[in-house]
Structure formats: structure tokens, C-alpha cells
Amino acid sequence: MKTSFIDKKQSEDRISCLGDNKLNHIAIIMDGNGRWAQKRGMPRVAGHKEGLTTVVKVVKSAVKCKVKYLTLYTFSTENWKRPKSEIDFILKLPMEFLNRYLPELIANNVRIETIGDVAYLPVYTRKALQYATKRTRNNDGLQLNFALNYGSRHEILLAMKEMYLDINHAKLSLDNVDEQLFSQYLNTAGMPEPDLLIRTGGEKRLSNFLLWQLAYTEFWFTDVLWPDFSEEEFMRALDEYQQRKRRFGGI
């Protein structure tokens, strides 16, 4: 018998993990899959496969904590530099994940969306994502964003070009362009900016992820490799976030 992301007791005892700081949007750089596998004498792709179980754990915790948006950095525009065999394996994982867990995601009111230039992804990846997006479009719980073939510099350049075309065709006045308007040309249009960025794997950089959107986001780094990232570690990040004072440039 399949186990739901949130069992009956958890559902009855569902609590808010938000505290005083609002936590509407969490972004995660899921780093360390390859190193996790290599430490165990396994091929790198084994770490990517193991990382799927961590995605389930984190989605479960995010649903429980009533997070509204969860954005996972799944495949970057720079990841095309990796060996073809590894790329092919990674790009089949969304299909495997959705085939296995989509019914549970639907049962838990999760909505699936993607950000990034998905037109360049393999047909089987696009079809799986399109199907999941269509099946979950009426859900109004957690919005789970998969960032696939995503790069923030590319996103910003495309937004600038689109805005230029709208100005050139008199659909938009240059005088009306401000930060809020520009944000509507990004992949994340309509979403709140991330409150918290989590990066696993010990690295402390953004790796071309949501550069515009993370301007005032709180960062939390851990040495734990993504396949070892537990629900307890996730809650530790949220607990630390609640201890911080967000000033947004003020006092």
C-alpha cells in the first residue's frame, strides 16, 4: 500500500513552521549527488537516482510546513557540459519521479510547474512535465517548481529582449519600466521572491541560480550532500531562518 506524503496523524496535527518570519518561498540548490556516489565507489548517476528520495522528503516537509512555493535547481544551462551519459540519465529522472509520485503529489494538493528554457529538453522529459503540469493545474497547495535547463543570466537576457520588443512595438513605455515590472518578464513572474535559499554539498555560491530574485533572500549552506539531506536537516534550516532578523535595507 502506498504511503501518502502526509499521513493521517500528520494531517490532523499539521502545524505552521513559519514562526514570525514569513516563509512563502524556499529555493534549493541540490548539490552533491555525484560526490555522494563516488564516496561509495558507485557511478555518479547512482547519486542522482538516490537524490529523488530526498526530493520526496523535502516536498513532504514543505507541505507540512505550509510553504507556498518550493523551487528546486534540477538542471542548469551549464550542466550540458557534463558527459552525455550523465546528462541523459539526469533528464530521465523527472519522468521517473513523476511516474512514481504524481498520484501522491495530486493527493496532497501539490501543483507542478517548471522554470527554464524547457524547449531544448528531450521530448520524453517535456511530455512528462506537461502531463504533470496539466494534471495538477487546479491544485492550490504547494507549488513545486522544477528549474530545468535554467540559467539566471540567460533568463535576464531573454527578459530584456522581450521588454525591448514590447517597448519597440509601443506595448510598453520606457518611463514605466521599474523593478516590479521587469520581474514580470522573468520565469518567476507572479511568484514571491524566495525567502530562503538552501544549498547542500558544502559549496557556497549561487551557480547562476535566481540571481535577480535572490537579492534579499536569506542563505543557508550545509556540508551535507543532497542524498543525505534529511527532513531534520531541512527543519534545521527553517529553524535558523526564524532566528534571523530581515531588514531589507532598513534598521
Indicate the annotated binding residues for Mg(2+). Answer: 31, 218
- Are 69 and 25 in contact by the 8 Å Cβ rule? The answer is yes
Active-site residue, selected from the candidate residues 24, 79, 99, 145: 79
Question: Which CA distances in Å does 226 have to 115, 117, 119?
Answer: 21, 24, 27
| Catalytic residue check, 31 | yes
Known binding-site residues for substrate equal 32-36, 44, 48, 76-78, 80, 82, 199, 205-207
* Three cell numbers, residue 34: 555525484
Active-site residue, selected from the candidate residues 13, 20, 21, 31: 31
- Are 171 and 141 in contact by the 8 Å Cβ rule? The answer is no
Question: 192: closest CA among 6, 70, 24?
Answer: 24
Question: 43: closest CA among 10, 2, 85, 11?
Answer: 85
Tell me how far the alpha carbon of residue 81 is from its chain's centroid. Answer: 21
- Are 106 and 141 in contact by the 8 Å Cβ rule? The answer is no
| Catalytic residue check, 79 | yes
Question: 58: closest CA among 216, 187, 189, 196?
Answer: 196
Known binding-site residues equal 31-36, 44, 48, 76-78, 80, 82, 199, 205-207, 218
- Helix (H) or strand (E) holding 146, with range, is strand 143-150
Catalytic residues: 31, 79
